[in-house]
Amino acid sequence: MNLKKTTLAILLAQALFVAPHVYGKKNEPAQNTEQTENRRTEYSFKQSGTPIKLSPYNTVVYSMTPTDILTMRGDGLYHTKNQLMTLSVIPSGVSYGVVEQDKKGRTKAGFYSTSEYAKKLGELDVKKYGLPSAMAYSPDARKIYVATEQGLKVFEPRKMTLVDSMELPFMPAEMAVSDNGYYLTISSGDRVAVINIEQKKVRRDWSYGVKVTDMTFSEGSSQFAVLTDDGILSVYDTRNFNIKNTIEDLGTGIACAFSNDGKYIFVATSPETLEVINLVRPTDRNTIPVENGGISDMAFIKDSEGNSLLAYTGPNAVKARRIQNLEPHFNKLISDEVDEMMAEWQKMMPGESMEEYRARVNDETRARQRRLFEDEISTRLAGDLLASATMSLGSYDRTNQVLALDFSTMPTIYLPVPESDVTSFKNAGDLVLSDVQYGVLPDDTFEIVYAKVTNKADGKTYEYNNHDRVAMDFMGGDSNVVSLEILQQQQMEELKLQELRAKVVEEAKSASTISNHTNIAVDSRVVPDFDADGNKILNYEVNFTYQVDPEFSASEDFPPGKYIVEESGAANAMLKIVKEAFEGDFSQYIKAGKKLKVVISGTADATPIVRTIPYNGVYGDFEDEPIYENGDLTAITVTKKDGVKENRQLAFLRAEGVKNYLQNNVDKLDEMNADYTIKVDVAEGKGAEFRRITANFLFIDVF
């Protein structure tokens, strides 16, 4: 690859997006924040050929022509004389895989670096595993699924070590994996199958009778969409894979992509036209004409500030468009926030006895409190809807003695008014609404659920109260309901956890390991969920974290440049709580073979590392290790040879030290089917207050 061309591509990318993945480092944020740039809504990036396929990584899109792989900025990564069939970029961004076919119809699969032109990292042994047809990476970047004539082969992507295999109902041309890791979907011709990865069984198998042109999961994996070339979009609920929506009249159905919250789906109905469909209100559809056309594939990506952009192919170009004026998914926002508020409300208060807790938290009070939270959040999100609404007087129901008040932008409300007062209601302009509260309907629109209505004609005030309407069960059914018995059990265990925390903290203080300037927090809750078969399950989440006052960080937490767990009094005290809890009262959840998800977060400040910090290799060398950094999946490299040169590496080693401690010191934890995720957050500010560690444990299906 031409070095000048590569450098130019990187500099250009920084104008809008983060730079392409270079030498295994995480993409750097964009530098150009000029006002003129922020006003732009459409972008076009030249390609040496017309792309036919896109594969996104964070803010970079890689395009595939019949014989070339290119970055969004047109920087060539790979060329072949064969026909490229599949392009898949690993979610951490450091490599990609391709399936190509020669003139005799023979296929092969190769894996290449995104940091260097045509740098091969490995290839599929076709003599051993058979000819490939499609591939896809797992969402955590730790596995690659390759479909061959022998079935599905699952590899560890860095060394291409075979870790699993399974049969497939047919040989696919396309594959996708849900971001919760539950499902692998395959398609070929008119057929689509959904496979439960863990149980290696087919959940659903459809034959549409026409060619399938695209299939995709929504973010969060709650929806799955299949598009066919007769212009029909089928959207399924992934709990049961029953149809939720069937959208017709979508032209030739070329490609589709969900918006980030899953409320909208974008469909290329022709090479020149995009259709935007509100899946909550499917009649709400809008058409976007695309100049010069050429759409064959699309994908949502982020810009350098985290805003959503739709990338799509064009003639000798990759184009990107800022998507504006889309309503948020209000039901989802409200439901998620209510769940968080209810989790806090259901905790035992300091000094509260179990008898007092049972009196305060019961089925009746939980339902009432949830409704109050719903209305509180809905009202905040609704804003002042009356300002844009026209109100008019409707008919009067003498039987029920209610007067209809009609609104141009909201449903009618029925105000209780005695028949003797009706004659004073002559003009809607005389009515003043106050203390207005809103609720949200299943179609994501708002309604008034409470208001005081004053009639200026006679000065009387009337109350409209519809708080007892149907609750927001249409979002999750009974998925957010935890039985009182389980909830009370969890609260008793929470008390034991807090008592253990207090004991260990006092011991650490007595040993002068920490002082009152170190705050260790423990927390637990029951989390309703669904498994890959759609069955309701209850998970148990336990969270441990600490924070040290800045001026005491060097003495009670990790000293500057240190990463060994034993060098931090705060980390040691926290991990002692973990060990004693999981080897004591919480040992009932430590069962061989049961699933456990552990997320360890390490944070770092922005103080630059002037001199390389030696790394003694205590946790091993890491090459392109998948991690989450500031919310995005990326990769990190730390070796004994090169040492530590960045704060992100230091934060990673501290988190890795916690993982190492858990695996080697907590009895029987290593017997569980544990999945560890490392998160690294690098703050923009400088100082010890930005340094801390969090360990989150999610025990799957334990009640």
Please write the tens of the pLDDT for every residue from 577-604: 999 999 998 999 999 999 999 999 998 8
Confidence band of 470 (pLDDT split at 50, 70, 90): low
Confidence band of 560 (pLDDT split at 50, 70, 90): confident
Task: Render the burial of 677-700: b for 16+ CB within 10 Å, e for the rest.
Answer: bbbbbbbeeeebbbbbbbbbbbbb
Answer yes or no: is 579 within a domain: yes
Residues 520 and 664 in one domain: yes
Show which of 418, 452, 476 is a domain's final residue: 476
Q: Would you say residue 18 has pLDDT above 70?
A: no
Q: Do residues 303 and 16 touch, judged by C-beta distance below 8 A?
A: yes
The residue-averaged pLDDT of 619-634 equals 94
Structural domain that includes position 431: 370-476
Residues 556 and 660 in one domain: yes
Q: What is the pLDDT of residue 40?
A: 72
Confidence band of 339 (pLDDT split at 50, 70, 90): very high
Answer yes or no: is 264 within a domain: no
Residues 458 and 504 in one domain: no
Residues 509 and 651 in one domain: yes
Regarding predicted confidence, which is higher, 472 or 633?
633
How big is the chain, counted in residues? 703
Residues 424 and 495 in one domain: no
Percent of the chain topping pLDDT 70: 92
Reduced to 3 states, what is the DSSP secondary structure of residue 589?
A: helix
Q: Is 552 exposed, middle or buried (0-12, 13-18, 19+ CB in 10 A)?
A: middle
The residue-averaged pLDDT of 124-152 equals 97
Answer yes or no: is 296 within a domain: no
- Rounded Cα distance, 343 and 543, in Å: 14
Q: For 85, phi and psi rounded to 5 degrees?
A: -105, -40
Our CA angle for 47, 52, 56, nearest 5°, is 80
Residues 534 and 450 in one domain: no
Residues 594 and 648 in one domain: yes
Widest Cα–Cα separation across the chain: 91
Q: Which two tokens stand for residue 182?
A: 């539950």
Pairing relationship of beta strands 107-113 and 413-416 according to DSSP bridges: unpaired
Answer yes or no: is 391 within a domain: yes
- Rounded Cα distance, 126 and 21, in Å: 29
Confidence band of 32 (pLDDT split at 50, 70, 90): very low
- Rounded Cα distance, 121 and 117, in Å: 12
Q: Which two tokens stand for residue 67?
A: 């014989």
Model confidence pLDDT, tens digit, residues 409-432: 999 999 999 999 999 999 999 999
Answer yes or no: is 131 within a domain: no
Positive or negative torsion for Cα 242, 244, 246, 250: negative
Least confident interval from 137-146, 405-414, 690-699: 690-699
Q: What is the pLDDT of residue 631?
A: 86
Distances from the Cα of 206 to the Cα of 192, 226, 232, angstroms: 5, 10, 14
Q: Which two tokens stand for residue 20?
A: 């392409």
Residues 410 and 495 in one domain: no
User: Locate tokens 């937490």: which residue?
Assistant: 557
- Rounded Cα distance, 22 and 8, in Å: 13
Model confidence pLDDT, tens digit, residues 78-107: 999 999 999 999 999 999 999 999 999 999
Show which of 476, 499, 534 is a domain's final residue: 476
Q: Would you say residue 30 has pLDDT above 50?
A: no
Where on the phi/psi map is residue 105: left (φ > 0), alpha (ψ -120 to 50), or beta? left
- Rounded Cα distance, 703 and 700, in Å: 9
Answer yes or no: is 678 within a domain: yes
Residues 453 and 535 in one domain: no
Give the DSSP letter of residue 386.
G
Residues 512 and 584 in one domain: yes
Q: What is the pLDDT of residue 694?
A: 94
Where on the phi/psi map is residue 151: left (φ > 0), alpha (ψ -120 to 50), or beta? left
- Rounded Cα distance, 547 and 249, in Å: 56
The residue-averaged pLDDT of 186-191 equals 98
Q: Would you say residue 24 has pLDDT above 60?
A: no
Show which of 434, 459, 476 is a domain's final residue: 476
Mean pLDDT, the chain, whole residue set: 90
Residues 563 and 670 in one domain: yes
Residues 455 and 561 in one domain: no
Confidence band of 684 (pLDDT split at 50, 70, 90): confident
Q: What is the pLDDT of residue 39?
A: 53
Q: Which two tokens stand for residue 492?
A: 């008793």
Q: Would you say residue 20 has pLDDT above 70?
A: no
Q: What is the pLDDT of residue 349?
A: 92
Model confidence pLDDT, tens digit, residues 340-361: 999 999 999 988 999 999 999 9
Answer yes or no: is 504 within a domain: yes
Answer yes or no: is 255 within a domain: no
Number of compact structural domains in the chain = 2
The residue-averaged pLDDT of 279-284 equals 95
The residue-averaged pLDDT of 497-510 equals 93
- Rounded Cα distance, 163 and 156, in Å: 7
Confidence band of 605 (pLDDT split at 50, 70, 90): confident
Q: What is the pLDDT of residue 328?
A: 94
